[in-house]
Amino acid sequence: MQSEDLSNSQLWLLAVAAGVCVANIYYSQPILPAIAADVGLRPEQAGNLPVLSQVGYGLGLLLLTPLGDKVARKRLIIVLQGLLLLVLVGLTLARTAWLLYGLSFLLGFFAVATQVIMPLAAALATTNKGKVVGTVFSGALIGILGARIVSGYLAQWFSWHYVYGLSAGLLLGTTVLIARLVPTVPPRYTGSYGALLASTVAQLGRFPLLRRIALLGALVFGAFCSFWTTLTFHLSGAPFHFQSDVIGLFGVLGVGGALAAPLVGRLAGTGNPARTQVLTMGLVLVSVLLMQWLPASLPAFIVATLLLDVGVQATQVTNIAQVYSLDETAHSRLNTIYMTVVFVGGAAGTFAGVQAWKWGGWSLVCWQLLLWLLAALLLTLPGLTRPARGVGVGDH
């Protein structure tokens, strides 16, 4: 049964808004050559653009998302997305390198509105909280994966400026709809901003479960980012020799995985969450073994990509459902801690994947993916012997 306080239309609006917002961080990755040629940047200079967006996103996670416990989340989302809209308009018109650098940083900084949308959805859901959170999280993941497909084709058919112009239009639409259709949840935190930041860090000390599943999420997301970073290298070389447009179609499989993840989570998440995590990470493990055993098989990579995305995303949905069960009054602070740790894990996974490819090719990439997964599985073992907490993805 759908939550009494959150209609289906409101839920899907929040899911779409989360995807539209976070996609902005990833639009630049496939179109860096086009940006470099247009503005006169060297390839390594253009490569700084997504890095600056990631740095901005990390700082925004730490400095802005905790405000969701102190300021009405709906108001905070509208303000952040309004500022992001101005940045997108600037990127649509930008013609100089330094302006691109500054706007790329601000793009990531304000795109953390996505991490305010998810706690708002959790707060509005009085029942079926895991399903609600999972739907919004999947919307964000579809935005991340779909951004690479959309930006690549738009830049090829028109210009890279159109990518940010279209995003500005989509963002404006979701912001207006949120302002009109989503209810306001009064904040519960009354302390100062400094005390709020200190309280955010203190959440790690309050909840051993938060520490464990945040590290688990970091390891799983690290494997996810490592895979997607190195997949392009493997598919563009022998024996596949695919061009960027064909490689981009693998993002469609990722979107399919994001759509399937809540269903897998609901089917598996009716009991102990640790058992759900073992099952979903088992899908990722099978995926990596398949790619390691059949590194030259296209059907194997198609199946493996779908399994990996379903497994990773269903694991994260289960994790987030547990995070939001810890303290109803601190959703934004808990989300900040969880997503910051996961973000660090993703950055580490990207670095590890590139280094593994450099030193040992696809074989070493698969071995280091297995290490990420085995470490994550070890973290779930203590939870297997505990009674179910009732916070799985399929809770009612």
> Does 14 reside within a domain?
yes
27 inside domain: yes
Q: Are 382 and 213 in contact (CB under 8 A)?
A: no
Where the chain has pLDDT below 70, the residues are: 1-5, 43-44, 243-245, 248, 257, 260-271, 385-396
Residues 275, 316: one domain? yes
Tally the domains of the chain.
Answer: 2
Q: Where is the domain boundary, 152, 187, 222? A: 187
Judge whether 196 lies within some domain.
Answer: no
If asked whether residues 156 and 262 sit together in one domain, one would say: no
d(CA 71, CA 73): 6
Contact by Cβ (8 Å): 327, 119: no
Residue 227 located in a structural domain? yes
Residues 20, 115 within the same domain: yes
Q: Residue 33: which domain range?
A: 1-187
Query: Tell me, what CATH number does 360's domain have?
Result: 1.20.1250.20
| Same domain (yes/no): 116, 216 | no
Q: What is the pLDDT of residue 268?
A: 46
Same domain, 179 and 214: no
Q: What is the pLDDT of residue 395?
A: 36
pLDDT of residue 134: 77
Do 181 and 209 share a domain, yes or no? no
CA angle, 219 then 249 then 58, to 5°: 35
Quick one: pLDDT at residue 394? Answer: 35
Output the six-digit token pair for 249.
Answer: 């179609």
For residues 180 and 304, membership in a common domain is answered with no
Of the candidates 132, 118, 350, the one whose C-alpha atom is nearest the C-alpha of residue 229 is: 350
Report the distance separating Cα 189 and Cα 21, nearest Å.
26
Closest by CA position to 312, among listed 121, 144, 114, 151: 144
| 237 in the same domain as 146 | no
* The pLDDT value given to residue 158: 84
DSSP class of residue 183 equals P
* 183 and 220 in a common domain: no
Shared-domain flag, residues 211 and 318: yes
Whether residue 395 lies inside any domain: the answer is no
Are 301 and 35 within 8 A, CB to CB?
A: no
Where is the domain boundary, 141, 158, 187? Answer: 187
Say if residues 234 and 240 touch (Cβ distance below 8 Å): yes
From 163, 187, 211, the end of a domain falls on: 187
In a domain, 193, yes or no: no
Return the exposure string of 210-234: e unless at least 16 CB atoms fall within 10 Å of the residue's CB, then b: bbbbbbbbbbbbbbbbbbbbbbbbb
Are 146 and 223 within one domain?
A: no
Same domain, 17 and 162: yes
Determine the pLDDT at residue 386: 63
48 alpha carbon, distance to own chain's centre: 20
Residue 44 has a pLDDT of 65
Does this model's pTM top 0.85? My answer is: no
